Amino acid sequence: MIFESHAHYDDEAFDEDREALLASLEHQGIERVINVCAEVENWSRTVALMEKYPFIYGAVGVHPDDVGSLNEERIEEMRQICRYEKIVAVGEIGLDYYWDKEQHESQIYWFERQLQIAREEKLPFIIHSREAASDTLETMKRMRAGEIGGVVHCFSYGKEMAREYLNMGLSLGIGGVLTFKNARKLKEVVEYAPLEALLVETDSPYLAPVPNRGKRNSSLNLPWVVQAISEIKGISREEVEEVTRENGYRVFHKVKRG
C-alpha cells in the first residue's frame, strides 16, 4: 500500500468525477492521502473531504502566491482548524519567486507566521519552494525549522540543497517530475538521499508522471513514481512502498494506521 503525501482533491479539476475517483483509491493500493490546502477559500473543502473519507487527512495553509489574502484574523482561524483531529500538517507554505505574485517581504513574513503556528500546534509543515532556494533555506534556519519537522514538497533543487535539509532532519517530497527526461538533478538527489528521508507524492492534479505527462494527475499514478525510485536505488518496488509508507506515518504523526 502507498502513502500519498501531497494531493489537491479540493481542486476544481476533480469536480466532475471526484467521488468516483476517491472511491477507487483504496482498491488501487492507496492507503492514505494527505489533501493539502493552499488557499484560504479552500480550507472548508479540505475539511469536508477529510470528514467524508476515512483515508483522507488534511493539511491547512496558504501558498505563497495567495498570502495577500492573509491577515491576523485568518491566521487565528487557521490555528483553530489546525486543532481538528484529522488536520495533520501546516501547508503548503513557503516561497515562490517563479510566479512572483506577492512581494518577497510579504511572502517571507507569512511563511514565518505559518511556521510559528506549526511549532505552536506541534504539527509538521509542508514547504513549497520554487526559485527561492536561498531565502527558503535562510528562513527555515532562522525559524529553527528542523525542531518542527516536515517535508520540502516537490523537491526541485540539487544535491547540495538536499543535504542542507536532510541535515535538518527533514524529508523530501518526490513526485512525477522524477520520471521526466530532464530531471537529472532530481535523480541525483534521489540516489543520494536515504530512502528513509523520502515521501512519495503526486501534487494532483499537477505534474503527472511519464507516461501520463500533460494529463490530469491523480494518486493512481503513484506506482510510476515508486517504480522510478526503485530503479534509481536498485531496490524492489515493494521496499520503496513499505519504507515511504512508514515515512509518511512518521512525519504526519497524527495519521492513524489502517
Q: Has residue 202 been placed in a domain?
A: yes
Neighbours of 205 (CB within 10 A): 17
For residue 177, give its domain range.
2-251
Q: CATH number of the domain that 14 lies in?
A: 3.20.20.140
Residue whose cell numbers read 503548503: 92
Closest CA to 46 of 1, 102, 90: 90
**Is residue 227 domain-resident?**
yes
Confidence (pTM): 0.97
Per-residue pLDDT tens for 46-101? Answer: 999 999 999 999 999 999 999 999 999 999 999 999 999 999 999 999 999 999 99
Express each pLDDT in 176-194 by its tens digit: 999 999 999 999 999 999 9
Helices (H) and strands (E) in the chain, counts: 9, 8
